[in-house]
């Protein structure tokens, strides 16, 4: 399967201490590797990891910063900038892999194909430490073909996933039930929860952090 990929943001900041994001829970967050080549992994002791995936401008950087409680990812309105898979280590216990955004047609074809290959290898390789994924979809929109394609790829590859519907604060209260129902019909399964979230208000971020920790636990692999 070929995934149409592009990048979403540039990066700033390699280390932070005392953060209070619900996923980091006060642990140190540090950049351990910007991976530019196929199969490139952090050196040293391997820890569990999950990949963060989503279309360009879905709010990936904002959500990652909110979950970790520090600005590891620079928020940008301009897609097409990330040139690597960024591995962040949280409290020396697990890694978060910030992947290039997909679906941005203006990125050069060669780069889209290279990013696609890197992400496919990251998720599907037998020896990959990445055992789960956080798939971000725009909560304001109906299910998008590229997101449905990624969800299918995760399922067929056997990768456990949590789906977060971002920008939920921008969805009118009168539309939330209908929007939530449409997104659930497209993405949610008994093994793949869907949760509306907001980086701006913090809505459901503690629950999202709990679901991600559960996806990383050995028991969830059984």
Alpha carbons within 13 angstroms on the beta-carbon side of residue 114 total 14
pTM to 2 decimal places: 0.86
From the list 111, 105, 178, 109, the residue with the least C-alpha distance to 141 is 178
160 vs 133: CA distance, rounded Å: 6
- Asked whether 71 and 83 are in contact (CB, 8 A), the reply is no
In angstroms, the CA 91 to CA 163 distance is 24
Instruction: Render each residue's pLDDT in the chain as its tens digit; 222 residues.
Output: 545 444 333 333 434 444 468 999 889 999 999 999 999 999 998 999 999 999 988 999 999 999 999 888 665 554 555 568 999 999 999 999 999 988 765 556 677 788 889 999 999 888 889 999 999 999 999 999 999 999 999 999 999 999 999 999 999 999 999 999 999 999 999 999 999 999 999 999 999 999 999 999 865 554
């Amino acid at each position: 399967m070929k995934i149409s990929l592009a990048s979403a943001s540039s990066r700033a900041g390699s280390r932070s201490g005392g953060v209070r994001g619900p996923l980091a829970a006060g642990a140190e967050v540090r950049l351990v590797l910007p991976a530019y080549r196929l199969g490139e992994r952090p050196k040293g002791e391997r820890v569990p990891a999950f990949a963060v995936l989503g279309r360009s401008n879905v709010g990936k950087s904002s959500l990652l910063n909110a979950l970790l409680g520090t600005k590891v990812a620079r928020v940008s309105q301009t897609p097409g900038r990330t040139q690597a898979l960024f591995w962040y280590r949280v409290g020396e216990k697990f890694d978060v892999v910030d992947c290039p955004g997909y679906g941005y047609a203006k990125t050069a074809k060669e780069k889209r194909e290279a990013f696609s290959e890197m992400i496919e290898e990251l998720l599907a390789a037998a020896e990959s430490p990445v055992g789960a994924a956080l798939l971000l979809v725009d909560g304001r929109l109906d299910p998008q073909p590229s997101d449905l394609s990624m969800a299918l790829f995760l399922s067929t590859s056997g990768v456990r996933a949590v789906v977060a519907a971002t920008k939920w604060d921008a969805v009118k209260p009168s539309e939330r039930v209908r929007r939530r129902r449409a997104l659930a019909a497209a993405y949610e399964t008994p093994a793949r929860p869907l949760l509306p979230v907001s980086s701006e208000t913090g809505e459901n971020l503690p629950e999202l952090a709990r679901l991600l920790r559960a996806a990383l636990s050995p028991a969830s692999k059984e």
